Structures are given as C-alpha cells and as structure tokens.
Amino acid sequence: MSTQQIAGSLVALVTPMTPQGAVDYPRLERLIEFHIEQGTDGIVAVGTTGESATLDFDEHVAVIRATVEKVAGRIPVIAGTGANNTREAIYLGQAAKEAGADAHLSVTPYYNRPPQAGLMAHFRAIADAVDLPLILYNVPSRTGVDMSVETTLALAGHDRIIGTKEASGSLARMQALIDGAPEGFAIYSGEDNLSCAAILAGAKGTISVTANVAPSLMHRMTAAALSGQADEARAIDDQLQPLHRELFCQPNPIPVKWAVAAMGLAESAIRLPLVPLMSEFEPRVCAAMQAAGISATICR
C-alpha cells in the first residue's frame, strides 16, 4: 500500500476493555464501524493509545486481526508493532503481515536508548525481515531517544520504509523532514495540535488521538488541508484545539478513554499502571468536547 492511500485522519484507536480489564471485542467492532461511518481515513491498531505496552503478544495480534476483519478493506489498517527488542518488533511485524494489516508502525526503541547507528540498524533489520510497508515513529518525550532528521531520511531510502510519524513537538522538525523526503516517503504528524499546520506544509496526514473523539471534524480538517483549503482547515482546527490540549491533561490514553466512554462508545476501563481520569480533570475534558460540538450525556 502506498502513502497516497494512507493519508488524512488516521485514528490511533483506543482498545476498549471490560471493567475487569479484558479486551472488549464487541465494543471494538462497534467502535471501528463508528469511525468508518464518521469518515476516519485509516485506523492505527494497538499503538500507544491502544495500550500496546500492557497487551500481551497474543492479545496484541488478536486485536490487529479483529480490526482487519471488521474493517474488511474499507480503509487502511496500520498495525502498531514497535518494541525495544528488535526481534520482538520483527515478530510483531510478521504477525501483523499474517493478520492482513496494510502497513505497520514501529516506534524508536524506548528505555535502552540506542544511538543513531543503532536506530538505523534496528529499523533496517525490521524492514528487511517484514514484507509490509513500515512507518517509523519518533516520540522522544515517551521513549527517551530522538531520531534525527538525518537518520530518518537515510532510512527513507529503504524500499519498505514508506513514512514517519513525527511527534517531537517541533513544526520546524516536520518541515525539515517534508523538505528532505524523497518521493513516496510520507510525513505524518504525531502531534494533534500541529497537524493542521503540518499538512498545510506538506505532511500527508496525522496519526491522531483527537480523532477518537472527533472523527468527523478531524477528517474534514485534514481533507481541507490536503486540498489546500487553508482557511477552512484552520477554522476547524481552531474548534479542535481545546480537545488537542485537554486530551493530554493526563498521560495518554487516560483522558481519551474517559472521553470515549462519556460518548457511550466504550467503558473507561484502562490497565495498570495507568488509572482512570482523576475527577478534577473531567470538567476540562467536558468543556473541550463541548467546544468541538461533541455530545456526551455525562458532560451536561
């Protein structure tokens, strides 16, 4: 699958869970159908927002497979397959390929913090071993390692590495990647608050937390930005900015799981060591949802 097909608003989908902490597959299927109805352009399954850190291997692969089966080819499915162990990342990538994912997303190795040469070797090993389009993911605030522009663009020369999700928080960094990227290598914003500006500057889309709560608005904003309708895109983005901010009032995915539950789409259950949204933050998330025109009974 090419980057022309993977563009727009790509939701970093939450993984619904029962109050007992099991993956809630019926809710997952309903959530996927909701996103397709609302215009979401692609689904990222079992990324950070999908609680990849606390799903075991069997659950991880089962959620990818269930997502692929429910989507049934209607929009792209990108599987989260990152790990700080290269062999594990390859295993998850191969499992995503077997499950039928259209591409996979692999984060820079967290905690062990490899140097740039290690990052280069890690991602090349994954791309060599897994016959599936690969999107890199740089999020230094979570991983403790920052993949440089130079390393990213060197990796862009690999036939199977088709793009990068950039979540360094720097629009200048995204612009440097956009300016230096070879043809066919896509830049995706990993920062909801910068997504509109990044797409107007040449990014292909966003891998979005906000899209869990406002899928239609995120689709409309990215579509307008991709077609060069800057004023319309910015107007929608202004409406979304409170959500972009408040969905990170506590560590992701705590606020977004609460918001999805407030919409009646899933339970707010989340796995330890994360805990549900603290009550003092609830009015802030409610106000942001209301600013975006999102209906939630609990917020009335």
Please say if 165 is a catalytic residue.
Answer: yes
Strands (E) located in the chain: 8-12, 42-45, 77-80, 103-107, 134-138, 161-166, 186-189, 205-208
Taking a C-beta distance cutoff of 8 angstroms, is the pair 38, 222 a contact? Answer: no
User: Coil, strand or helix: which one is 162?
Assistant: strand
The single residue of 25, 91, 111, 165 carrying the catalytic annotation is 165
Please give, one letter per residue, the 3-state secondary structure of 233-282: HHHHHHHHHHHHHHCCCCCCCHHHHHHHHHCCCCCCCCCCCCCCCCHHHH
The single residue of 97, 137, 204, 257 carrying the catalytic annotation is 137
> Does residue 36 have a known ligand-binding role?
no
**Which residue is it, tokens 């705590």?**
254
> Does residue 90 have a known ligand-binding role?
no
Taking a C-beta distance cutoff of 8 angstroms, is the pair 271, 56 a contact? Answer: no
Q: At what angle do helices 254-262 and 282-291 cross, to 10 degrees?
A: 60
* Among 256, 271, 290, CA closest to 31: 256
Dihedral, CA of residue 273, residue 279, residue 281 and residue 286, to nearest 10: 120
Show binding-site residues.
49, 207
Annotated binding-site ranges for pyruvate: 49, 207
Active-site residues: which are they? Answer: 137, 165
